[in-house]
Structure 1
Amino acid sequence: MATLTIRNLDERTKAQLRVQAARHGRSMEEEARTILRTAIESSQAEVQVERLGSRIHAHFAELGGVELDLLERSSAPAAAEFEPR
Protein backbone atom coordinates (compact mmCIF):
# COMPACT_ATOMS: atom_id res chain seq x y z
CA MET A 1 0.00 0.00 0.00
CA ALA A 2 1.04 3.58 -0.62
CA THR A 3 1.88 6.16 2.02
CA LEU A 4 0.54 9.71 1.88
CA THR A 5 1.85 12.57 4.00
CA ILE A 6 -0.29 15.67 4.40
CA ARG A 7 1.73 18.73 5.33
CA ASN A 8 0.50 22.08 6.65
CA LEU A 9 -2.78 20.70 7.98
CA ASP A 10 -4.17 23.30 10.34
CA GLU A 11 -4.79 22.33 13.96
CA ARG A 12 -8.54 22.92 13.76
CA THR A 13 -8.93 20.44 10.89
CA LYS A 14 -6.75 17.92 12.70
CA ALA A 15 -8.83 18.29 15.87
CA GLN A 16 -12.07 17.85 13.92
CA LEU A 17 -10.66 14.74 12.26
CA ARG A 18 -9.69 13.37 15.68
CA VAL A 19 -13.21 13.96 17.06
CA GLN A 20 -14.91 12.48 14.00
CA ALA A 21 -12.64 9.43 14.10
CA ALA A 22 -13.43 8.89 17.78
CA ARG A 23 -17.15 9.24 17.05
CA HIS A 24 -16.86 6.49 14.43
CA GLY A 25 -14.59 4.31 16.59
CA ARG A 26 -11.65 4.55 14.17
CA SER A 27 -8.11 5.82 14.21
CA MET A 28 -7.43 9.20 12.61
CA GLU A 29 -5.57 7.41 9.83
CA GLU A 30 -8.51 5.10 9.08
CA GLU A 31 -10.94 8.03 9.23
CA ALA A 32 -8.82 9.95 6.69
CA ARG A 33 -8.75 6.88 4.39
CA THR A 34 -12.54 6.56 4.65
CA ILE A 35 -13.09 10.25 3.88
CA LEU A 36 -10.80 10.11 0.84
CA ARG A 37 -12.35 6.86 -0.44
CA THR A 38 -15.89 8.24 -0.08
CA ALA A 39 -15.00 11.51 -1.82
CA ILE A 40 -13.38 9.71 -4.76
CA GLU A 41 -16.25 7.22 -5.15
CA SER A 42 -18.92 9.94 -5.10
CA SER A 43 -17.07 12.07 -7.67
CA GLN A 44 -16.72 9.04 -9.95
CA ALA A 45 -20.44 8.26 -9.58
CA GLU A 46 -21.30 11.83 -10.63
CA VAL A 47 -19.12 11.50 -13.74
CA GLN A 48 -20.72 8.17 -14.68
CA VAL A 49 -24.24 9.60 -14.36
CA GLU A 50 -23.25 12.54 -16.56
CA ARG A 51 -21.78 10.21 -19.15
CA LEU A 52 -24.90 8.06 -19.18
CA GLY A 53 -27.14 11.04 -19.93
CA SER A 54 -24.81 12.22 -22.66
CA ARG A 55 -24.77 8.75 -24.21
CA ILE A 56 -28.56 8.52 -24.16
CA HIS A 57 -28.85 11.97 -25.74
CA ALA A 58 -26.34 11.11 -28.46
CA HIS A 59 -28.12 7.83 -29.20
CA PHE A 60 -31.50 9.46 -29.82
CA ALA A 61 -30.19 12.70 -31.35
CA GLU A 62 -29.64 10.84 -34.63
CA LEU A 63 -33.39 10.27 -34.90
CA GLY A 64 -34.15 13.98 -34.79
CA GLY A 65 -36.78 15.80 -32.79
CA VAL A 66 -40.51 15.30 -32.77
CA GLU A 67 -43.04 18.12 -32.94
CA LEU A 68 -46.33 17.32 -31.25
CA ASP A 69 -49.57 19.17 -31.91
CA LEU A 70 -51.03 20.38 -28.63
CA LEU A 71 -54.76 20.11 -28.25
CA GLU A 72 -56.60 23.26 -27.29
CA ARG A 73 -58.57 23.12 -24.09
CA SER A 74 -62.26 23.56 -24.53
CA SER A 75 -62.84 24.24 -20.82
CA ALA A 76 -60.87 25.36 -17.81
CA PRO A 77 -59.37 22.62 -15.66
CA ALA A 78 -61.53 21.65 -12.68
CA ALA A 79 -60.78 19.98 -9.38
CA ALA A 80 -61.61 16.30 -9.04
CA GLU A 81 -64.90 15.47 -7.36
CA PHE A 82 -65.14 12.43 -5.12
CA GLU A 83 -68.34 10.84 -3.86
CA PRO A 84 -68.40 9.60 -0.24
CA ARG A 85 -68.87 5.88 0.22
Structure 2
Amino acid sequence: MGMMTIRSIPDEVHNALRARAKRHNRSTEAEVRAILEEATRPEKRLHMGDALAALGRKVGLTNEDVALFDQARDKTPAKPMRFE
Protein backbone atom coordinates (compact mmCIF):
# COMPACT_ATOMS: atom_id res chain seq x y z
CA MET A 1 0.00 0.00 0.00
CA GLY A 2 1.30 3.44 -0.90
CA MET A 3 2.30 6.15 1.52
CA MET A 4 2.07 9.91 1.09
CA THR A 5 3.32 12.93 2.96
CA ILE A 6 1.66 16.30 2.43
CA ARG A 7 3.61 19.35 3.54
CA SER A 8 2.64 22.98 4.12
CA ILE A 9 -1.05 22.46 4.84
CA PRO A 10 -2.53 25.76 6.01
CA ASP A 11 -3.60 25.73 9.65
CA GLU A 12 -7.25 26.42 8.78
CA VAL A 13 -7.32 23.41 6.42
CA HIS A 14 -5.67 21.17 9.02
CA ASN A 15 -8.12 22.34 11.69
CA ALA A 16 -11.07 21.75 9.35
CA LEU A 17 -9.82 18.23 8.60
CA ARG A 18 -9.48 17.47 12.30
CA ALA A 19 -13.00 18.78 12.98
CA ARG A 20 -14.43 16.78 10.08
CA ALA A 21 -12.65 13.64 11.30
CA LYS A 22 -14.08 14.15 14.78
CA ARG A 23 -17.61 14.47 13.35
CA HIS A 24 -17.10 11.13 11.56
CA ASN A 25 -15.52 9.47 14.63
CA ARG A 26 -12.21 8.69 12.94
CA SER A 27 -8.64 9.90 12.94
CA THR A 28 -7.51 12.78 10.76
CA GLU A 29 -5.46 10.33 8.70
CA ALA A 30 -8.50 8.08 8.17
CA GLU A 31 -10.55 11.13 7.20
CA VAL A 32 -8.01 12.18 4.57
CA ARG A 33 -8.02 8.61 3.18
CA ALA A 34 -11.82 8.70 2.98
CA ILE A 35 -11.76 12.07 1.20
CA LEU A 36 -9.17 10.86 -1.31
CA GLU A 37 -11.09 7.65 -1.97
CA GLU A 38 -14.34 9.54 -2.48
CA ALA A 39 -12.62 11.95 -4.88
CA THR A 40 -11.00 9.21 -6.95
CA ARG A 41 -13.78 6.60 -6.83
CA PRO A 42 -17.04 8.48 -7.28
CA GLU A 43 -20.30 6.54 -6.95
CA LYS A 44 -21.24 7.54 -10.47
CA ARG A 45 -18.23 5.81 -12.01
CA LEU A 46 -18.83 3.42 -14.85
CA HIS A 47 -18.76 -0.23 -13.83
CA MET A 48 -17.62 -2.47 -16.68
CA GLY A 49 -20.16 -5.22 -15.96
CA ASP A 50 -23.03 -2.72 -15.98
CA ALA A 51 -21.78 -1.19 -19.23
CA LEU A 52 -21.52 -4.59 -20.93
CA ALA A 53 -24.99 -5.62 -19.73
CA ALA A 54 -26.44 -2.35 -21.06
CA LEU A 55 -24.72 -2.88 -24.39
CA GLY A 56 -26.11 -6.42 -24.60
CA ARG A 57 -29.63 -5.11 -23.93
CA LYS A 58 -29.18 -2.32 -26.48
CA VAL A 59 -28.24 -4.73 -29.29
CA GLY A 60 -30.94 -7.22 -28.23
CA LEU A 61 -28.67 -10.00 -26.96
CA THR A 62 -30.70 -12.75 -25.28
CA ASN A 63 -29.86 -15.61 -22.94
CA GLU A 64 -30.31 -17.97 -25.89
CA ASP A 65 -27.63 -16.05 -27.81
CA VAL A 66 -25.25 -16.36 -24.88
CA ALA A 67 -25.96 -20.12 -24.70
CA LEU A 68 -25.09 -20.43 -28.41
CA PHE A 69 -21.80 -18.59 -27.81
CA ASP A 70 -21.03 -20.98 -24.97
CA GLN A 71 -21.72 -24.01 -27.17
CA ALA A 72 -19.49 -22.67 -29.96
CA ARG A 73 -16.62 -21.77 -27.61
CA ASP A 74 -13.49 -23.89 -27.96
CA LYS A 75 -13.11 -25.58 -24.57
CA THR A 76 -9.80 -27.29 -25.38
CA PRO A 77 -7.28 -26.44 -22.65
CA ALA A 78 -4.53 -24.12 -23.82
CA LYS A 79 -1.10 -25.67 -24.25
CA PRO A 80 1.57 -24.26 -21.94
CA MET A 81 4.20 -22.03 -23.53
CA ARG A 82 7.50 -23.65 -24.35
CA PHE A 83 10.79 -21.81 -23.98
CA GLU A 84 13.13 -23.96 -26.01
The RMSD of aligned alpha carbons is 2.2
Q: Which runs of 5+ in 2 are unaligned?
A: 59-84
1:23 corresponds to: 23
Stretches (4+) displaced over 4 A: none
Q: Where does 1:38-49 land on structure 2 (aligned, <5 Å)?
A: 38-42=38-42, 45=45, 48=46
1:32 aligns with 2:26: no
Post-superposition offset of 1:8: 1.3
Rg larger for: 1
CA distance in 2 between counterparts of 1:44 and 1:36 reads 16
1:10 corresponds to: 10
CA distance in 1 between counterparts of 2:8 and 2:43 reads 25
TM normalised by structure 1 equals: 0.51
CA distance in 1 between counterparts of 2:2 and 2:19 reads 25
SS in 1 for 2:42: helix
Q: Which runs of 5+ in 1 are unaligned?
A: 60-85
Task: Give percent identity, aligned residues only.
Answer: 34
Post-superposition offset of 1:21: 0.2
TM normalised by structure 2 equals: 0.51
CA distance in 2 between counterparts of 1:28 and 1:11 reads 14
Tell me the number of residue pairs that the alignment of Structure 1 and Structure 2 aligns: 50
CA distance in 1 between counterparts of 2:10 and 2:42 reads 25
